[in-house]
């Protein structure tokens, strides 16, 4: 739904769709429906893959306390740095 209102995505699809539509054999909405379903399926599998990969990596990070502590310290340093930058900028 968010992509629907994204002007970059709209321009991309407006430029990309005509490449796959043969004007001589164009079947109206069937062609566009098939392309929309293809994009929806590819988007679903991309989201599923990224979610599963993120879950797998998160489990691995939680299983190793050394890495967990290192990430917490790095995140803390970033927060302190952002706080200092905010204090200095005012």
Query: pLDDT tens across 9-44, in order?
Result: 778 877 877 777 777 777 777 777 887 788 888 889
Report the pLDDT value the prediction gives residue 4, as an integer from 0 to 100.
65
Confidence of residue 52 (pLDDT cuts 50, 70, 90): very high
**pLDDT reading at 3 higher than 60:** yes
Angle at 62 between CA 56 and CA 65, to 5 degrees: 145
> What are the percentages of helix, strand and coil residues in the chain, rounded to 5?
85, 0, 15
The pLDDT value recorded for residue 81 is 97
pLDDT at 15: 81
pTM of this structure: 0.57
Instruction: Please give the C-alpha separations between residue 53 and each of 35, 49, 50, 56, 71, in angstroms, as whole numbers.
Output: 27, 6, 5, 5, 18
């Amino acid at each position: 739904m968010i992509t629907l209102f994204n002007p970059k995505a709209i321009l991309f699809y407006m430029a990309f769709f005509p490449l796959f539509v043969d004007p001589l054999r164009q079947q109206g909405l069937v062609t566009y429906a098939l392309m929309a379903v293809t994009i929806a399926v590819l988007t679903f599998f991309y989201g599923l893959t990224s979610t599963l990969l993120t879950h797998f990596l998160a489990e691995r990070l939680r299983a190793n306390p050394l890495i967990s502590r290192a990430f917490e310290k790095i995140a803390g340093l970033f927060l302190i740095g952002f706080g200092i930058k905010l204090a200095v900028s005012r």
